[in-house]
Amino acid sequence: MLADRVKTIKPSPTLAVSAKANELKAKGIDIISFGAGEPDIDTPIFVKEACIKALEDGKTKYTPSSGIPALREAIANKLNKENNIDYSPSEIVVSTGAKMILFLIFMSILNEGDEVIVPSPYWVSYPEQIRLFGGVPVFAELKEENNFELTLDILKKYVSPKTKAIIINSPSNPTGAVISKEDLEKIVEFCIEKNIFIISDECYEHFVYDDAFMVSPASFSKDARKITFTVNAFSKTFSMTGWRVGYVACPIEYAKIIADLNSQSVSNVTSFAQWGALEALQNEKSKDFIENMKNTFAKRRKHLIDILNKYQIPYSKPKGAFYMFIDLTKYKNHFKDDIQMSSFILEKGRVALVPGSSFGKEFWARLSYCVSEDTLTEGVKRIYEALSSL
Ligand SMILES: Cc1ncc(COP(=O)(O)O)c(C=O)c1O
């Protein structure tokens, strides 16, 4: 008999969509995949070279569990310079991607029945991970009229004496919403007052467009820093999704616990991957790499908006990340649920997208614009034609 805690676990739907699309592609079927949550740009060559050099230099053994000292120091510098938060290297734990870091945070802070406020639409893994550790995800419903941005008024409706933590994911996956500095400051002040942990998932920090900008909650004040877990990864920023390097920065008493859990489970992130990550933070060329990637996504975002407008497919205009959340509710009467709808779009239109129900918003869908502009044009046309044939 398996453990009770795994009885409700579901596989990651976003990974499942990519796998299904790849399976069909391998059979020679011409599929356009909007499913991937990863940049289609290669990892920078200087990062690869640093990793190869580490291998050649024999850096192939266990490392300190929380990460090689040089990497933790470089992360502390980065947080100081880019995010305006003062952390010491001892307050940083490196693990296998932001996903594992979040897993370790929930494991560290949740007791049975503790509530975690998850602004909804949400990234797929938050509720699953929270439940695994006996927590209760409380979905704070965000409004489309407000571009799915969290405000203090919305948050207050969901707070209870059992609230232990809140997730802040700005820019957001799947909506691309970015919380304004003013709203975020109010939310942070409230969390300090109520002693609610903030888990700030900053994976998309560099991908912000137009006049939007991203602020780290821990940067507001010393008190904000005390209640915040600042989570980030190399996955999206440096196009290193397969490398599995992420980290958390938080007060030392929490960092120590997370480090112990990491040492009893992961041991350490692959030694040579850490040397690649270090190069990503230190190489002068990284700035240009990130800027170019951001500009590419900015152009695609604009292009995608133009095509969606042309076919009159409604969407929530994203301020960040590399996803577009589109509204397909007008087709809902044709389907049992949106999983059936996405299967229809895959079979009839040969386009893979992730159904909104995976993110808590049924009959919406997430398109990732990690594909070329031509592919975006063709893909949206196919979605439109498939749905118009109903
Ligand atoms: C919001 C968010 N957090 C965390 C992750 C996981 O990142 P990593 O690949 O570093 O584990 C993702 C990946 O899609 C994400 O979108």
Q: What is the CATH number of the domain that holds 169?
A: 3.40.640.10
On whether both 106 and 82 belong to a single domain, the answer is yes
Which of ligand 1's atoms lies nearest the C-alpha of 246?
Answer: 10
10 Å CB burial of residue 251 (0-12, 13-18, 19+) is middle
- pLDDT value of position 190: 98
Q: Are residues 149 and 108 in the same domain?
A: yes
**Tell me, what's the pLDDT at 115?**
98
- Secondary structure letter of residue 208 according to DSSP: B
Q: How far is the CA of 207 from the centre of ligand 1 (A)?
A: 14
Q: 231: CA distance to ligand 1 center in Å? A: 10
Nearest in space to 92 (alpha carbons), one of 77, 107, 110: 77
342: domain CATH number is 3.90.1150.10
175 & 312 share domain: no
264 and 350 both lie in a single domain: no
360 and 243 both lie in a single domain: no
Which amino acid, one-letter code, is at 71?
Answer: L
Whether 56 is covered by a domain: the verdict is no
Clarify whether residues 241 and 359 are in a common domain. Answer: no
Residue in the block written with tokens 């405000």: 151
Query: Residue 169 gets which letter from DSSP?
Result: -
Which of these three, 258, 282, 306, is where a domain ends? Answer: 282
Per the CB < 8 A criterion, the answer to whether 296 and 302 are in contact is: no
Please state, in angstroms and rounded to a whole number, the distance separating the CA atoms of residues 216 and 201.
9
Query: 3-class SS at 231?
Result: strand
The atom number, within ligand 1, closest to the CA of 234 reads 10
- Nearest protein CA to atom 7 of ligand 1, as residue: 98
Same domain, residue pair 268 and 126: yes
The pLDDT assigned to 19 comes to 79
Q: Which residues line ligand 1 (CB under 6 A)?
A: 37, 97-99, 123, 169, 173, 201, 203, 233, 235, 241, 246
- Per DSSP, the three-state class of 215 is coil
Give the structural domain span for 230: 61-282
Instruction: Check: CB of residue 254 under 8 Å from CB of residue 197.
Output: no
Residue 134 φ/ψ region, left for φ over 0, alpha for ψ in the -120 to 50 degree band, beta for the rest: left
Answer yes or no: are the C-beta atoms of 365 and 334 closer than 8 Å: no
CB 113 within 8 Å of CB 133 = no
| 18 is a domain residue | yes
The minimum-distance atom of ligand 1 relative to the CA of 96 is 11
- Indicate if 118 and 266 belong to the same structural domain: yes
Averaged pLDDT, groups of 10, the chain, 390 residues long = 86 75 87 91 98 98 98 98 98 98 98 98 96 97 96 98 98 98 98 98 98 97 98 98 98 98 97 98 98 97 98 97 98 94 93 95 96 97 96
**What is the Rg, in whole angstroms, of the alpha carbon atoms belonging to the chain?**
21
Atom number of ligand 1 nearest to Cα 102: 4
Q: How many domains is the chain partitioned into structurally?
A: 2
Q: State residue 16's pLDDT score.
A: 74
Clarify whether residues 263 and 140 are in a common domain.
yes
